[in-house]
């Protein structure tokens, strides 16, 4: 990321909304925002393949006791909507996959979800990205992802409906056709 460019544009944004970027509370705001964006949008610098390689530590499925499916629920993430740069928050991700010879370390599943969310995103794409990364990292075509979250572009602006929640589901492989597998995500 180009921190210097971000700082320049944040200063211009402050001026454009009628603020004085030289007032005490705003002097370091461009620098702070650049640092925040670098952290919050870290995932932009990595492809799905690179995230799979970063967090693809696996173990033998035979030694893990995983027989039918591995399920991890309530992984908390947040992201930013690419349409309004608005926060997508209170997001919970449920992931399930059928091992094909190997299983991912459990913390790696949460790390994959977190890194995929650290991009300008759409919730639908986030589910597809997570499924693609899990599939590659675990070596399985059978992945299900459910995401439920709030979008500040719905809750704080526009319609201003604070109770609106969005749910998306992504199914690959066996998850597309098997209701019993889909129910693991509930």
Decide if 123 is catalytic. Answer: yes
Decide if 83 is catalytic. Answer: yes
Decide if 49 is catalytic. Answer: no
For the chain, give the secondary structure using H, E and C.
CCHHHHHHHHHHHHHHCCCCCCCHHHCCHHHHHHHHHHHHCHHHHCCHHHHHHHCCCEEEHHHHCCCCCEEEEEEEEEEEECCCCCEEEEEEEEEEECCCCEEECHHHHHHHHHHHHCCEECHHHHHHHHHHHHHHHHCCCCEEEEEEEEEHHHHCCCCCCCCCCEEEEEEEHHHHCCHHHHHHHC
Question: pLDDT of 106-115, one tens digit each?
Answer: 999 999 999 9
Decide if 151 is catalytic. Answer: yes
Question: pLDDT of 44-58, one tens digit each?
Answer: 999 999 999 999 999
Decide if 84 is catalytic. Answer: yes
Which of the following is catalytic: 7, 121, 123, 174?
123
Decide if 113 is catalytic. Answer: no
pLDDT of residue 62: 76
> What predicted TM-score, i.e. pTM, was given to this entire model?
0.94
């Amino acid at each position: 990321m180009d921190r210097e460019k971000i700082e320049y544009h944040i200063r211009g944004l402050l001026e454009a909304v009628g603020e004085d970027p030289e007032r005490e509370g705003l002097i370091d705001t461009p620098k702070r925002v650049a640092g925040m964006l670098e952290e919050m949008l870290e995932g932009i610098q990595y492809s799905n393949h690179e995230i799979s390689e970063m967090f693809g530590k696996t173990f033998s499925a035979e030694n893990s006791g995983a027989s039918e499916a591995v399920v991890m629920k309530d992984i908390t993430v947040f992201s930013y909507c690419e349409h309004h740069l608005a926060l997508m928050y209170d997001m919970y991700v449920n992931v399930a996959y059928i091992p094909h010879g190997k299983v991912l370390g459990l913390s790696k599943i949460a790390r994959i979800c977190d890194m995929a969310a650290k991009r300008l995103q759409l919730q639908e794409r986030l589910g597809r990205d997570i499924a693609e990364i899990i599939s590659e990292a675990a070596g399985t075509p059978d992945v299900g992802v459910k995401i439920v979250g709030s979008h500040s572009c719905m809750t704080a602006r526009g319609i201003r409906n604070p109770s609106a929640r969005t749910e998306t589901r992504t199914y690959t492989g066996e998850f597309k056709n098997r209701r019993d597998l889909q129910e693991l995500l509930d």
